[in-house]
Amino acid sequence: MAQKRFLALNAMDKLMREASSLRVSESAKETLANVLEEKATEIARKAAILAEHAGRRTLTGKDIALAMK
């Protein structure tokens, strides 16, 4: 069964074309989407721990910024 994708491959194409004038393969789009989704999940988990530690049930931008450090 295919994994549910949260980031559109079209968005990955636009990101890479913005950074470079090279052509972008489908596998490059899929790989970038997978890497970014894994990193985003990791950051969200850390941010959730920070919010819970602060006694909140809502994630804030500050939690995300701190989790990225």
Give me the CATH number covering residue 35. 1.10.20.10
42: in domain: yes
Provide CB contacts within 8 A for 51, sequence distance 6+. 57, 58, 59, 60, 63
Summarize pLDDT for 38-47 with one digit per residue, the tens: 999 999 999 9
Position 4 confidence tier, pLDDT thresholds 50, 70, 90: confident
The domain tally of the chain equals 1
**pLDDT at position 2 over 70:** no
The residue segments making up the domain with residue 16 are 9-68
**Distances in whole angstroms, Cα of residue 55 to Cα of each of 22, 49, 51, 52, 58:** 47, 10, 6, 5, 9
pTM over the 0.75 mark? yes
